[in-house]
Chains A and B, each alone.
Chain A
Amino acid sequence: MSEIDITLTLNGEEVRARAEPRMLASDFLRDRLRCTGTHVGCEHGVCGACTIRLDGVTARACLLFAAQLDGARVDTVEGLGTVRNLHPIQEAFRRHHALQCGFCTPGFLMTVAEILETHPLRTDEEIRDALSGNLCRCTGYEHIVRAVRDLVDARDGVTA
């Protein structure tokens, strides 16, 4: 099947590329747009490593076709911060050792960016529930929960 033109706003900038409609958005971002921060674990929606934001809300990039990104606003982990200038969420993960191999981290960061805006996250149980769609094989989650707790406290103006 032939390739089609796809124009999208990626991390605030308009970009254009060609792809077959069937190409998964995760492969399109990685291979065509060279944004390899979006990781690919399972390709059936279970692990959360490929989590991006599509028109403002989180979505599994492995459950979207490249063709669906045409005209859309897409945000990936590349839009959060840089190595020299970490985003506060990345800084909290660094401070709390909330990553080891880092494979799951981009997906967690994108999920946390959303739930900080949408969820009250009053208890650790609520944090764990909101993160339940992202799997991590290394950390045991405890330090990820601590990082998020810190971010929630900062958001809500709670001082330790």
Chain B
Amino acid sequence: MKPAAFEYVRPTTLAEALAALDHDDAKLLAGGQSLVPMMNFRLVQPERIVDINHVAELRGIVEDGDAVRIGALTRHAEAARDPLLARMLPVVAEAMANVAHVAIRNRGTIGGSLCHADPSAEWPLLTVLLDASIDIASAAGRRSEPGDGFFIAPLVTALEDGEIVVAVRVPRPAPGTGMAFLEVAQRAGDFAAAAAGATVRLDGDRIVEARLALGGVADAPMRLAAIEAALAGADRRDIADAVADAAADLEPNDDMHASADYRRRLIPVLARRALERAAERSSTLAMVK
């Protein structure tokens, strides 16, 4: 199908983009890998398209104090091969390998993925897992939103009208932190039936700190705080026990990707594998140190 008519605006600065967005029915166009299918199906028919692909201020992956700042227009493929991310946050490349396919990763962006807020998508899960915050600009100024408050429901975020996501800021993980991401999808590149991300920092076999996030099992990616608390100070061999009931309080969806029952079975398995893999990587980091 074909999209409805719209006015096309191509700003080259953030200020111009914000000005162009000041309109009753304008939409930002980043990679277009979610928006254009929706326009082709006429699920959305914006009157004005603001193409931000030429706004240089939205690009770049740089160290910024104790954090890595990932520009909103960073493509999935750029993030997957970025040397700084490979060194500080290798879990990003591991997750990106699961996002769609080569040509879609070449176009799709982190900012678009966060704003599209698919509950199974990889970037939102990473944002929640890594305690990242989201830098937002509007005509009124700048603000920052913590990742765990940003995702409200499928396709619904804390972003207000007239706001643009500028970058994602990921705090530098403590030295020796191992990380892992894995998911189950029906076919390579499909949205995940369920996904898990974990970080673990070990001292010998004792877990100093563990983080666990799941995607595809609720309206938005989520952290499992009770499991994280139980693992702090525990032995790494206790991971399987700690996650055995991970699905108990969850009510995953039944949909075309997977049944709720299948998701309930996947959750403890993915959680255990992600945590054990992260723990293994933490112990490898301790050996090379």
Contact = CB atoms under 8 A, between A and B. Distances in A.
Instruction: Tell me, yes or no, whether A binds B.
Output: yes
Interface of A: 1, 4, 20-24, 27, 43-45, 48, 51, 57-60, 62-65, 67-68, 111, 114-115, 128-130, 132-134
A67 B106 contact: no
5 contacts: A62-B40, A63-B107, A65-B8, A67-B51, A132-B187
Given A22-B5, A132-B187, A111 B102 contact: yes
A60 B107 contact: yes
A130 B37 contact: no
Nearest to B35: A63
Nearest to B107: A59
B139 to A, nearest CB: 24
Given A1-B6, A63-B32, A65-B49, A24 B188 contact: no
B1 interface: yes
Nearest to B105: A133
Interface string B189-209: 100000000000000000000
Contact of A21 (B6, B41, B106, B107): B6
A24 B39 CA distance: 11
Nearest to B41: A44
B143 interface: no
B6 A60 contact: no
A43 B3 CA distance: 10
Contacts of A132: 101, 187-189
Contacts of B51: 67-68
Interface string B1-35: 11111111010000000000000000001001100
Contacts of A64: 32, 36
Given A43-B40, A64-B36, A65-B49, A130 B6 contact: no
Contact of A22 (B3, B103, B107, B187): B3
Interface in B31-88: 32-33, 36-37, 40-41, 49, 51, 53, 77
Interface in B100-138: 100-104, 106-107
Nearest to A24: B2
Contacts, number: 85
Contacts of A43: 1-2, 40
Given A1-B7, A65-B49, A115 B102 contact: yes
Contact of B36 (A63, A111, A128, A129): A63
Given A1-B6, A44-B37, A59 B188 contact: no
Given A21-B49, A67-B8, A58 B33 contact: no
Contacts of B10: 67
Nearest to B188: A132
Nearest to B8: A21
Interface string B139-158: 00000000000000000000
Given A1-B7, A65-B8, A65-B49, A114 B102 contact: yes
A22 B32 contact: no
B37 A45 contact: yes
Contacts of B3: 22, 24, 65
A84 B168 CA distance: 51
A52 B8 CA distance: 22
B106 A58 contact: yes
